[in-house]
Amino acid sequence: MECVAWFPERKGFLSQQKLAGMNPVMLDSERVCRHTAMSAAGPPARGIPKQETIMNTPGIIIRDEKESDASIITGITVAAFADMEISDHTEQFVITALRSAGALSMSLVAEVDGRVVGHIAFSPVEISDGTRDWYGLGPVSVRPEYQRRGIGKALIREGLARLKSMGARGCCLVGHADYYPRFGFENVPGMVVAGVPAEAFFALSFDGNMPRGDVRFHEAFLAKGERKP
């Protein structure tokens, strides 16, 4: 499902001070994390330290996207949404537009046996009550032949953990009612996205405070094709 809300370009995600002081992802029973050298992994995406996380699910590595992953991410996204009737098949353009706008706050890929097979994007959202540091989750995609092996779950859990460790205050998305509650997402009365049914909008507060009001995703969610140079 596609988010169709619009908001004027906003470049301030988390403050650079917060990002600079960001701790490595906490170790827990499901995740073993190590930082990769920035020089080896290329420049950090929007100043967020590069990390690679080996999930407990055997063989899955979650890491930040590299420049060379961009076309692979497009391919995964196209394939994942290809048979989905409710999709207008523009999700790959959304990711590219977010990247171009500097609004791809976090872009993680899942590797299995050295092959990139899954992807998740996070971007800043604007909330009309003034709450800051909330992020939109999506699109999230797993190659059809790799679905239902826990890769989507690993991407979402890792993405949420990293958002929290960055100091984000919450995350929201438009998506399937059967899938996202398992991660703690809930429908929130009074928190709405224009044009999106209430039962398809989900929010997860990290700090115990649930915002109220209109949520606007980045205007990149309106992207319908690649921009010609």
Cα separation, 2 vs 86, whole angstroms? 8
Residue in this structure with the two tokens 């470049």, named with its chain if needed: 11
Amino acid at 170: G
Residues that bind ligand COA (CB under 6 A): 1, 80-81, 84, 138, 140-142, 147-153, 175-176, 178-179
With respect to ligand COA, which residue has the nearer C-beta, 49 or 134?
Answer: 134
With respect to ligand COA, which residue has the nearer C-beta, 124 or 138?
Answer: 138
Closest by CA to 166, choosing from 24, 4, 5, is 24
With respect to ligand COA, which residue has the nearer C-beta, 38 or 78?
Answer: 78
Rounded to the nearest whole angstrom, what is the least distance from the CB of residue 90 to ligand COA in the complex?
A: 13
SS (H, E, C) 134-199: EEEEEEEEECHHHCCCCHHHHHHHHHHHHHHHHCCCEEEEECCCCCHHHHCCECCCCEECCCCCHH
Rounded to the nearest whole angstrom, what is the least distance from the CB of residue 118 to ligand COA in the complex?
A: 7
Go through 112-140 and write b for each residue having 16 or more CB atoms within 10 A of its CB, e for each that does not.
beeebbbbbbbbbbbbeeebbbbbbbbbb
Rounded to the nearest whole angstrom, what is the least distance from the CB of residue 205 to ligand COA in the complex?
A: 20
Which residue's Cβ has the minimum distance to ligand COA?
152
With respect to ligand COA, which residue has the nearer C-beta, 80 or 168?
Answer: 80
With respect to ligand COA, which residue has the nearer C-beta, 38 or 84?
Answer: 84
Rounded to the nearest whole angstrom, what is the least distance from the CB of residue 25 to ligand COA in the complex?
A: 19
